[in-house]
Amino acid sequence: MSDTSLPIQRRTSNTPSLRRPAWWGPQAIEPAFVLITLAAIVLSLIGEWAGWPWQIISALGAIAYAAGGYFGVRASLESLKERQLNIDFLMVLAALGAAAVGEWRDGAILLFLFSLSNVLQDYAIGRSRRAIQALFALHPEEAHVKRGETVETVPVSELAIGQIVLIRPGERIPVDGQVVAGGSSVDQSPITGESMPVEKEVGDKVFAGTLNQQGALDVSVTQLAQDSTLSRIIKMVEEAQGRKAPTQRFLDDFEQYYALGVIGAALLVMLVSWLALGWTFDDSFYRAMVLLVVASPCALVISVPAAFLSAIAAGARRGVIFKGGVHLEQMAEIKAVAFDKTGTLTAGKPAVTDIHTFNGYSEDELLRAAATVEARSEHPLSRAVRQAAASRGLALGEVEEFSADMGQGVSGVVDGVLVRVGKRRYIEECAGHPPADLLAVHDRLEAEGKTVLLACNSGDWMGLLAVADQLRPQSATIVDELHAAGIKRVVMLTGDNARVGEAIAQQAHIDRVHAELMPADKATIMEQLEREVGPVAMVGDGVNDAPALAASTVGIAMGAAGTDVALETADVVLMGDRLESIPYALKLSRRARRVVWQNITFALAVIAVLVLSVFVIDLPLPVGVIGHEGSTVIVVLNGLRLLIGSGE
């Protein structure tokens, strides 16, 4: 057993921490520059009212321009080096233009509001990033390594595979590993999104960043700190936030051409109003600068990443990892869903489903005798029988003269009586032909796709046990939810025989079954289904389903915590073994799509209204700036809503 009373020795290391917060940079400096800009503008107004010398007023104006325009100028120069134009260039150009016509304070106000808008954008989008970066805080810096009779505290980064780590009650687990001693319940919600603690015993996997609760555990390290499931989740989400969806890529490309168009339009307005309409140069130039500001597509360009980054972060907090905006966008278009059977729709573990007794034996007597004999076997069917007995609290007896006939059954002497458990032919060797009524039950259960184990006691028929990989309790409900959400077809793919597949499909409300498939066959069906119905999602365990996951529009790996193949192959990774994550992922992606188009529509409408106002009501520059930057903040906040709620 794990011992929490061993003496502890502490050792430090110069190895860098897993957490490296970046506190110095534009995110920290730009807010200060915004405040400086505002202060300079306010002081200049006070100075003019109080009659300060013009040199002081001019100096304050220069400070406002320098602080407010610093980051915009830097971004503009970087863009121009790459022979591209961006929104920052338009804003700097407009501010300089305002100063050129004697309206330097309007230009300063423009720079202030534009910089303030950028700060608010960074803050809002940073909220989505921090929702993921907060996972770093779940990773302990130190671990308690058992070395003989002592426990040494060492940096997590120095742990080696195979070392035994002691985790006390209330401590976060520092590494991925396997329990070798002790037992406890572990809160795995940061990794899998499960709301309830999971019981852990010897042989079970545990994950870094999860919280050990009431018991002590000895855990053998199976992954280095940098390779833990938690570290990989963080890496995947960070990479996903950098992968742009098609809509976002289009808007990024659109930004440059649009910027050229806006500059051209502003020049045209200035020249036409000055040369053709007889306006003064100052008025013509000022109107062109207003147009330059209000026509800038800041809100339009930020509308997609604001929504998708928030959605990716929201999904990750629920144990749903989208590996890029492209997959989030594709998920919203799904028309069909294909499920693997074993381990996905079903629990993946055989369980006793039926007990039928004979010759006056009780169910407990039959189950106890069978479990006692099966105690010497590690076959999955044997484990199912033992678990059924344990669930009833049955105390097993001692077995002698144990014998196992591979693929047929087991036998042994229990309480002085020879007990056999296994297939029909194996039992007939000692009990003869089964009675008609028992045989009828046997055939009926086999027709349902179940494995039937017969039992005899010194030649007397005791009865039978039926074992099957049971459907997850929520499977049918989840399939119904997918149908209700507009999914046209839900199919099941299995390598099992058709009889078993049809039985499971009927219980799960599956539309169509494809049975007796090889991995390559599943991939072919994915391609066929996409041609018939449209974009298709494949839900599997990430190993034998890898070809189908790759062939589908969106591959979804289920229950993938710690599974390397699933993490690498799938487009969407469900860290928890929870079917309800699939409808959630679908709803979240569709909600993100709605928010994106809300943002795009709103941004275009604001630009249209402001541009029209330039010519209809002679829109002042400060009002144009407020309208422009206000719309930018609104679309960012609208995207941020995806971090809140369930995705409905």
- For 319, other C-beta atoms within 10 Å of its C-beta total 24
Residue 529's region, left for phi above 0, alpha for psi from -120 to 50, else beta, is alpha
CA distance 187 to 159: 23
Compute how many other C-beta atoms are within 10 angstroms of the C-beta atom of residue 185.
15
CB-count burial class (<10 Å; 0-12, 13-18, 19+) for 148: exposed
Q: Which of 625, 85, 602, 639 is nearest to 300 (CA)?
A: 602
User: Is 443 an active-site residue?
Assistant: no
Beta-carbon contacts of 621 under 8 Å, excluding residues fewer than 6 positions away, are 94, 98, 103, 106, 109, 110, 286, 289, 290, 293
Whose CA is closest to 285, among 273, 295, 297?
273
CB 485 within 8 A of CB 587: yes
Please give the single-letter amino acid code of residue 568. E
Using the CB atoms, write b or e for 496-515: b if 16+ within 10 Å. Answer: beeebbbbbbeebebeebbb
Return the H-helix or E-strand segment holding 464.
strand 460-471
> Between 298-317 and 581-616, two packed helices, what is the crossing angle to 10 degrees?
160
> Considering only CA atoms, which of 502, 460, 508, 500 is closest in space to residue 483?
508
Alpha carbon distance 313, 325 (integer Å): 11
Burial environment of residue 120 by CB neighbours within 10 A (0 to 12, 13 to 18, 19 or more):
middle
Name the residue with tokens 């860098």.
16
AA identity, residue 245: A
Indicate the SS3 state at residue 164.
Answer: strand
State the DSSP code for 375. T
How many CA atoms are closer than 13 Å to the CA of 37, on its beta-carbon side? Answer: 26
**What is the β-pairing status of strands 417-422 and 451-457?**
antiparallel
Tokens describing residue 472? 């997850």
Q: Which residues pair with 128 in a beta bridge?
A: none
Catalytic residue among 88, 187, 340, 496: 340
**Catalytic residue positions?**
340
